[in-house]
Amino acid sequence: MSVSPILLSRSDIAEQHWNALIARSRQSVIYGFSWYLDVVCDNWMALVWPSKDTYSVVMPLPVKSKWGFQVIQQPFFCQYLGIFSEDAEIAEEVLSAFLRCLAHQFRYISNYQFNPDNTANIKTALDQSAFMVVPLHTYWLSLADTDGPVSGRYSKDRRENLRRSLSFDWGISSSTDISPLIELFRQNHEQRISGGVSTQAYDLLKNVFEKVLENADAKLLYARKQEIIHAGILLIRAGNRVIYIFNAADRTGREGNARTFLLDYFLSAENGTNTVFDFESPEIESIGSFYKSFGAEKKPFFSIHQNRLPFPLNLLQAWRRRRAADH
C-alpha cells in the first residue's frame, strides 16, 4: 500500500466530510472539528488521505506565519490533535507517511500534540522519526459500567473533601454567562501564572464557549453561597468525550471544596453512561494528583518539536526555547 498524504489549505477542506470523519473516528474529540479549529487557530491546514476529496485519515495542523515560513504551534484551549481515522486501528505505514510529510512540509514545529488514542500506534513511528518527542499525560475517567456511586472510585481524601463540601451547603446554578468565571480566575489565579494571562486569551475562551454552545454542548456550573459565586467549572462535550477545560475558585470556594462539589455533581449525573471525562491535566504534579483522586486513569500522549530553520534563525529560535524553558 502506497500512502501519500495531501496537504490542504483551510479553504480546500470540505467541512461536511471533515466533520463527519472526526465524529465517527475512534480519536474523536471536540478539538478536531472544523468550527472549533476556526476559533482557536489563526489559520489551519490539514494532511488528508487518500485524496483531496475523500478523507479516510486526516491530521489537522494549526499554522502561523513567521519569518516568511508556515510554522506549527499548538493553540490555546486545544490540548491535543493528532491523526484521526475512520478505521479502528491506523496502520504503521500510514502513520509513518503522515509524519514524513509533516516533517518535510514544515521547517519549524514549536509543539504539536497527538491524541492519547494515537499513543499506542504512533510510538514506533515517532521513535524512527527525527522529531524531538516529549511525553505528556492527561487523566481520563470512564463513567461506563460503574457499580454504585461514582464517589466509590474516589480516594479516601477526595471522599472526605466531598463530605466537607456538603457541610458548606453550596447552591449550584447552570449559566451561559462566562464573565463571572473569568473574573474569578483573574482575581484568584492569574498572578500565579508566569508571564500573566493576556486579554486575548480571555477573549478566546469567550469565543470558544460561544461556539461550543452553537455547535456542540457546553456546561458552565457555578457554586454559590448567599447568591455570591465562589467557584465555577466549564465543561465542553462532543460525542461521549467531556473536557474539563477551565475552572476557578476564590478562597471561600477553595476552603469549601467547591470544585470537588461541582465535579462530583456532574460526574454523578453522568455515572453509568458511556461518557469519558478528560481532566485536561497540565504537567503539574499537585494538579495531576487532584484529578487522579477522582479515580481517573493516567493517559499518555506525545508532543513533537522540529527546528529545520535556516541559519541563523535556527540558532536564535533554539536559544529562545531554552530561555523560555529556564523561566
pLDDT digits (tens, 9 = 90+) for 210-252: 999 999 999 999 999 999 999 999 999 999 999 999 999 999 9
Burial class (CB in 10 A: 0-12, 13-18, 19+), 192: exposed
Q: Which residue has the higher pLDDT, 159 or 316?
A: 159
Cis (ω within 30 of 0) for the bond into 50?
Answer: yes
Cα separation, 188 vs 199, whole angstroms:
16
Amino acid type, 56: S
pLDDT of residue 318: 81
Average pLDDT of the chain is 95
pLDDT of residue 314: 80
- Mind listing the domains of the chain with CATH numbers? 6-136+301-326 (3.40.630.30), 144-274 (3.40.630.30)
Beta bridge partners of 231: 223, 249
Whole-model pTM? 0.95
pLDDT of residue 327: 59
CA angle 151, 153, 156 (to 5 degrees): 80
Beta bridge partners of 244: 235
Q: Tell me: pLDDT of 146 over 80.
A: no
